[in-house]
Amino acid sequence: MITTESITELIEQHIEGSDVFLVEVVVKPGNAIRVHVDSPDGISIDECVKISRFVNESLDRELEDYSLEVSSPGLSGSFRVKQQYEKNVGRDIEVLYTDGIKVKGKLVSVEEKGIVLMVSGDDEEIGFEEIKTAKAIIAFN
């Protein structure tokens, strides 16, 4: 049986020692596998292809059929892992607190247990446990 855990383990084995990090693995009914990967400088199509090939070579379609999609998480998606926050230091982000309050500001730094966000000229320390969602604000100048 193909599981999120088994795919996660495969991907982490492949990317170990590189700057690529795993953002998300989803295995839906019918073995529809979706993998999102990224790196501090962005992920290339070539790297996604390498990861896809590695997973395909590691699984046996004779035993279980599946579909596989490997891509970047995209610009508009919510941050899921600490490395996505780190990648966006210096950029404007939007944070939705678990209590429903939404703030926008510049991501100043990423700490062990949270982030520092500059909002209206003041630094706010926000713990990861206080964040429901966070995502980059896309500006078209």
What does the pLDDT look like over 49-91, one tens digit per residue? 999 999 999 999 889 999 999 999 988 889 999 999 999 999 9
Q: 35 pLDDT exceeds 80?
A: yes
Whether the model pTM is above 0.85:
yes
Say whether 82-136 and 4-71 share the same fold. no
- State the CATH class of domain 4-71: alpha beta
Topology of domain 82-136 in CATH is SH3 type barrels. (2.30.30)
Task: Give dist(CA 70, CA 47) in Å, integer.
Answer: 9
Write the pLDDT tens digit of every residue in 93-134: 999 999 999 999 999 999 999 999 999 999 999 999 999 999
